[in-house]
Amino acid sequence: MIKFILRILVVAIVSFFVAYFMVDRSLNYFFRPQIESVALRAVRGELHALHKELDAIAPADRARILHAEIAPLYGADIHLLPQEQVRLGDKERNQLARLGVVFREDNGIYLFPLPGEPAQWLQVRQPGDSPADRLLAWSAWLLLSLIVATALFLLWALPIWRDLNVLRNATQLMGQGDLGTRVRLSRVAGIRHVGESFNQMAERIAALIENQRSLTNAVSHELRTPLARLAFEVDLLRQDRSGARREHILQDMQADIDELESMVAELLVYARLERPTDDMMPQETIDARDWLGDTLAQVDHLAQARAVRCVVHGDCPPQVRLHRRYMSRALLNLVQNAVRYASRLVHVSLAARADGAYELIVDDDGPGIPARDRDKIFEPFIRLDESRDRGTGGAGLGLAIVQRVAAAHHGDISVHGSPLGGARFILRWPAPEARRAESQRAA
């Protein structure tokens, strides 16, 4: 706001000075000949009389006679000047050739040469204007300058007024539900950054609403299956009079309830990570190998059930900076995902890069992910082909959570082909010190 006010003030000042310059030049261009003509007509008689009287006097006696006998008879200030004190410009020489006299309007001075040697010039200075005349002249000059300055300022402000109306109309359309509304503002109006901010806001709002709509539809679809199974199992319980299958049905119901609880928990984590802040994601320094070992221990039972071996591959840095809870959740989701699809082996590696970033890599020897599907797998509840669909387990939010954890650490997640033959997930994030240094270089 302060920058905008300063910009208006600067434009107003510049407009006034430009207007003053334009008025001065315009008046001089159009009215100077008329001013010269009127001024010369007003003093032509006096100049002729002075010329006639002084031409007949010898140059040596002119100064004495002028001051003693001639000057007291005139109201003007009259002086003799030697040739070396009179310096004429090109315009004044032309004026002298045309009129026989030089009129210096700024000082109210008339100059004309006198005959004889040494060469002399007569300078006649008219009495100054009265204060009232000067006030009137300056008032007229200022009024014209203000009028022109106002016109220039309005010429600058007109695009701003138009762009403000565009913004107002776009805001009303956004309020009425038209989320595709965008604005295009003039490059010279000075508020283009406001339009860019509006468009960024509109893009963000549209993306959030579309994301929430898709998520709501996906959640509704995902909840329908376990709820339908629960309803079916309740019907079975009612029909089972003997109670022979009661325990098996109750186990199935508990499994469905566990699935619902797991889905709700992942949804809460996913929603919590939608707009993380640095205060929400404080990073700490922890032992890297202990962290990897503790996380892999949580998936050991799943790996044993599928006869998959999980190993930490390569050398790890002694320490790593991260948010323990959320990065552990991301690593756990990646390893669980790898174990579900691996044939026999999962490799996990952690490295500190030369640029100060960390790189977490999870490889498996499963069927891999087709290149056409690699951008989609990080969206919530996305189904892929038979080799990697939700039939293998999970609520479909694991990789979406990993992506949000990476973004919360100012990093990213990508998927590639693995040297083991399956999929390779690479999670990169900068250390806080490297991120601060990058911000300082950018500033």
Q: What are phi and psi of 253, to 5 degrees?
A: -65, -40
CB atoms within 10 A of CB 248: 12
The span from the CA of 441 to the CA of 216, in Å, is 42
The span from the CA of 151 to the CA of 157, in Å, is 10
The span from the CA of 410 to the CA of 167, in Å, is 33
Half-sphere exposure of 160 (CA within 13 A, CB side): 13
User: CA 93, 96, 102: angle at the middle one, nearest 5?
Assistant: 100
The span from the CA of 245 to the CA of 226, in Å, is 19
DSSP secondary structure code for residue 380 in this structure:
T
One DSSP character per residue, 61-93 reads HHHHHIIIIIGGG-SSEEEEEEGGG----HHHH
DSSP secondary structure code for residue 242 in this structure:
S
**221 catalytic residue (yes or no):** yes
**Cα maximum dimension of the chain:** 152
Answer yes or no: are the C-beta atoms of 124 and 46 closer than 8 Å: yes
Type of residue at 354: A
Q: Which of 48, 221, 313, 410 is catalytic?
A: 221
List Cβ neighbours of 429 (8 Å cut-off, separation of 6 or more): 322, 357, 358, 406, 409, 410, 411, 412
Which sequence positions are flagged as catalytic?
221
